[in-house]
Copies of this chain bind each other. A is one copy, B any other.
Amino acid sequence: MTEVPHGYESAPWQLLWRGLAVDQLQRTESTFALSNGHIGMRGTLEEAEPRGLPGTYLNGFYEEHPLPYAEAGYGYPEAGQTVVNVTDGKIIRLLVEDEPLDMRYGHATAHHRVLDFRSGTLRRETEWTSPTGRRVRVSSERLVSFTQRAVAAIRYEVEPLDDDVQLVAQSDLLANEPIEADTGDPRVAAALEAPLQSEYMKAEGYRAVLVHRTKRSGLRVAAAMDHELDTCDGLRTDIAVEEDLARLTVAVDVPKGRKLRLTKFLGYGWSAQRSIPALRAQVDAALAGALQTGWEGLLAEQREFLDHFWSTADVEIDGDPELQQALRFALFHVLQAGARGESRAIPGKGLTGPGYDGHAFWDSDSFVLQTLTYTLPDTARDALRWRHSTLDKAKARAHQLGLRGAAFPWRSINGDECSAYWPAGTAAFHVNADIADAVARYLAATHDRDFERQHGTELLVETARLWMSLGHHDPHGGFRIDGVTGPDEYSAVVDNNVYTNLMAQRNLQEAADSCERHPDLAAMLDVGTEEISAWREAARKMLVPYDELLEVHPQSERFTEHARWDFANTSSSDYPLLLHFPYFDLYRKQVVKQADLVLAMHLRGDAFSLEQKQRNFVYYEALTVRDSSLSAATQAVLAAECGHLDLAYDYLGEAALIDLHDLHHNVRNGLHMASLAGAWLALVAGFGGMRDHGGNLTFRPRLPSAVDRIAFRMCFLGSQLAVEIDQDKAGYRIVHGDPLDIRHYDTPVTVAEDTVTLPVPAFAPLPRPTQPPGREPARRKGGGHAPGPIWPGA
């Protein structure tokens, strides 16, 4: 067959891939995934094959499996959780005369897919010649509805291009789709091989429903489909159902100039408690709603939802179309991950793939919720409600660990700890401060007192209690937190990690503040004045180590006395280091996987002077290898603050393009939500200099030399704010809502509907910090395509 060109094409509001490229299918299934935060569907072709990795996910739906240990230990989690590929409703197979449409055979003269950030749909158009020479055009468009969270829909059209052809379409619901397990453990593979047991099936007319239940976790899922058909006369349809398959078959002769058009409506639901009839009723009702709205209605609702989102969240960067596309791609996927999660977690990969087993980590709280707090704050609230809903489990875990308060899991779907390697799991207690920080940020940005009273204060109190039992006052007068792991996963089980201690300090202060705002709540939570005083005292005495000799903050105590990693003798093929060196060696040396002290300087920027930030930034730049996708965005923010604008621009590019350039070689298993959210932060907190310490919204905008103008929207205290920045000035205006008091550099300003324009101070460029050899970010030249992946061999 003739090769059509392939690769992403530049477009401001779309992701477009032309050509098939079977070997690239799996990664584009991730980037083309649709989701509303409740249902996720990977961007597979309707005809199901060729395929990379099919995947339909429901947020919170998982199967359990035993966690094996060669050497067991007290408190090790016994059960793992893994996101399950549920009943696949995306499949519409097609026979053209008697040839199955399979793009590996025959001849595709045109083929492209488009993810549209404003319509919220995935479109596909293919012109295909069958091996026996029949030509057809296949067009499809699909959506996972932001407005009807249980609903997805697909419009599928086939048009003969030459003669009359017989078309047979088979629209499926397929459960227990065989997929390759990504695990070496035969017990885990067995648990996931065919996780669903049939409980109920029914098919009638154009509608079918399948109900299944997982074998170990006991969760029930219902999937239903209904169809509308629009085609020629002589149509013959048949519907059939068996345990793992429901199928509507449509056969029709279509003359040239006419079409077969099939509209498929899907309804999904799951529950740990509800009965088969209840769940069946739920998906039937979802379908009824979808049919009543109709395809065009669903499209219109989708567009309206997105218009509103972009009016609050859009970013613009002039003269760099690739980055412009990447930034909107990033925001669109962050929205998809969080939009309708509704008291479920936001997994590290959203619902775009099975990576990390579908688990949620601290980076959702620290990165994704930051971006959502300022763009669609209700979604941040809902994700924090999920944390609150798991508080009993977190308290039980703390109790098991001999601690007070709540110890939230390092990785989980249902709130139970699933991390089987405690030095980089349980020991990373900072997740608790990250949750508290997300609560405090949300409260500061919304003044949502209902949330505070129902969820926020309790989250702050129980995490504060954890720190009190984890730390202790030492004889020298400091409050120490020993033997924990900070964000950097190339160090573990250290004393007085600066990030952890500073975040714990904020946690303690915010808990005290919240309790003093709500004495009645405090009383209900058994918080007395003595406990509040103890929190404030621990916060005041919190130990923050400092290396007087080097005049930098050690990431954790003694860090700067450790041997430096031998970067000179580390080749580019040795990265990521964790695949080529043992943990013990990484842990004992000065080498940083991801921003840790540098992240502390962002989130707790109020605890450092600018001079300290500048010295620290240069010191850690030389040690940070960015083997984690969580790093570049934070480095961008601090590079900008410290005056390294061009470097910040490079890091912004890396954060935003992480998945489109597949910089970590694993986008096939899903997108990196925290990095995508971080791209927004890199722009807004980096070049916009946005901070909100203590609830005071401040901007210190500065642009890199290659960028003439950026603009972004955000919301704060219910108002939509538009910010526009060029090389020498910045303009602020309220798009919607009340005026806002902000600071531009050190100047207080009240912003209302009229644009306030203020000068950007001039600054002297600083020497560019150095990174470990071979780990420099790709240089971003404004206005064109990036020079490609940062790592050789990518």
Binding site for B on A (CB under 8 A): 67-75, 80, 184-187, 400-403, 419-423, 426-427, 472, 474-476, 480, 482-484, 492-493, 495, 549, 557-558, 561-563, 578-585, 587-589
B582 lies within 8 A of A73 (CB):
yes
B422 lies within 8 A of A483 (CB):
no
**Assembled-state Cα–Cα distance A69/B422 (Å):** 12
B584 lies within 8 A of A427 (CB):
yes
Inter-chain contacts of A562 with B (CB < 8 A):
480, 482-483, 495
**Assembled-state Cα–Cα distance A420/B480 (Å):** 31
**Assembled-state Cα–Cα distance A581/B403 (Å):** 10
A585 lies within 8 A of B493 (CB):
no
Contacts A69-B68, A483-B587 hold; do A582 and B421 have CB atoms under 8 A apart?
A: no
Which one of A419, A581, A583 has the highest number of Cβ atoms from chain B below 10 Å of its Cβ?
A583
B401 lies within 8 A of A588 (CB):
no
Q: Which residue of B is nearest A481, CB measured?
A: B588
**Assembled-state Cα–Cα distance A589/B401 (Å):** 14
**Assembled-state Cα–Cα distance A310/B72 (Å):** 42
**Assembled-state Cα–Cα distance A186/B65 (Å):** 14
Inter-chain contacts of A474 with B (CB < 8 A):
561
Within the complex, the shortest CB–CB distance from A1 to chain B, in Å, comes to 40
B68 lies within 8 A of A185 (CB):
yes
**Assembled-state Cα–Cα distance A426/B585 (Å):** 11
**Assembled-state Cα–Cα distance A492/B472 (Å):** 20
Which one of B72, B484, B581 contacts A74 once the chains associate, using CB atoms below 8 Å?
Answer: B581
**Assembled-state Cα–Cα distance A403/B496 (Å):** 29
Inter-chain contacts of A589 with B (CB < 8 A):
482-483
A492 lies within 8 A of B493 (CB):
yes
Within the complex, the shortest CB–CB distance from A406 to chain B, in Å, comes to 16
Within the complex, the shortest CB–CB distance from A679 to chain B, in Å, comes to 28
Q: Which residue of B is nearest A550, CB measured?
A: B475
**Assembled-state Cα–Cα distance A579/B72 (Å):** 10
B75 lies within 8 A of A582 (CB):
yes
Closest 3 CB pairs of A and B: A483-B588, A70-B420, A68-B68
A402 lies within 8 A of B582 (CB):
yes
B74 lies within 8 A of A578 (CB):
yes
Contacts A472-B563, A557-B558 hold; do A580 and B68 have CB atoms under 8 A apart?
A: no
Q: Which residue of B is nearest A561, CB measured?
A: B474
Inter-chain contacts of A581 with B (CB < 8 A):
74-75, 402
Since A68-B69, A493-B588 are in contact, a sample of 5 more A-B pairs with Cβ atoms closer than 8 Å, ordered by chain A residue number, is: A68-B185, A70-B185, A422-B583, A483-B584, A493-B584
**Assembled-state Cα–Cα distance A71/B589 (Å):** 22
Contacts A67-B70, A69-B68, A549-B475 hold; do A585 and B492 have CB atoms under 8 A apart?
A: no
B579 lies within 8 A of A74 (CB):
yes
Q: Which residue of B is nearest A569, CB measured?
A: B402
A426 lies within 8 A of B584 (CB):
yes
Contacts A558-B495, A561-B480 hold; do A585 and B67 have CB atoms under 8 A apart?
A: no
Inter-chain contacts of A426 with B (CB < 8 A):
582, 584
A587 lies within 8 A of B70 (CB):
no
Which one of B73, B549, B557, B558 contacts A583 once the chains associate, using CB atoms below 8 Å?
Answer: B73
**Assembled-state Cα–Cα distance A54/B475 (Å):** 55
**Assembled-state Cα–Cα distance A400/B582 (Å):** 9
Within the complex, the shortest CB–CB distance from A555 to chain B, in Å, comes to 14
Inter-chain contacts of A67 with B (CB < 8 A):
70
Which one of B187, B422, B558, B587 contacts A558 once the chains associate, using CB atoms below 8 Å?
Answer: B558
Inter-chain contacts of A587 with B (CB < 8 A):
483, 493
Q: Which residue of B is nearest A549, CB measured?
A: B475
Inter-chain contacts of A561 with B (CB < 8 A):
474-476, 480, 482, 495
A71 lies within 8 A of B583 (CB):
no
Which one of B75, B422, B484, B582 contacts A422 once the chains associate, using CB atoms below 8 Å?
Answer: B582
Q: Which residue of B is nearest A587, CB measured?
A: B483
Which one of B70, B75, B585 contacts A69 once the chains associate, using CB atoms below 8 Å?
Answer: B70
B80 lies within 8 A of A582 (CB):
no
**Assembled-state Cα–Cα distance A187/B581 (Å):** 28
Inter-chain contacts of A579 with B (CB < 8 A):
74
A-B contact pairs, 7 of them (CB 8 A): A69-B420, A74-B581, A400-B582, A482-B588, A483-B587, A492-B493, A495-B562
Which one of A70, A80, A483 has the highest number of Cβ atoms from chain B below 10 Å of its Cβ?
A70
Which one of A422, A474, A585 has the highest number of Cβ atoms from chain B below 10 Å of its Cβ?
A585
A421 lies within 8 A of B74 (CB):
no
Within the complex, the shortest CB–CB distance from A74 to chain B, in Å, comes to 5
Within the complex, the shortest CB–CB distance from A59 to chain B, in Å, comes to 23
Q: Which residue of B is nearest A65, CB measured?
A: B70
Q: Which residue of B is nearest A478, CB measured?
A: B561
**Assembled-state Cα–Cα distance A691/B646 (Å):** 66
**Assembled-state Cα–Cα distance A174/B561 (Å):** 60
**Assembled-state Cα–Cα distance A472/B474 (Å):** 29
Inter-chain contacts of A70 with B (CB < 8 A):
67-69, 80, 185, 420-421
Contacts A482-B562, A493-B493, A563-B472 hold; do A582 and B71 have CB atoms under 8 A apart?
A: no
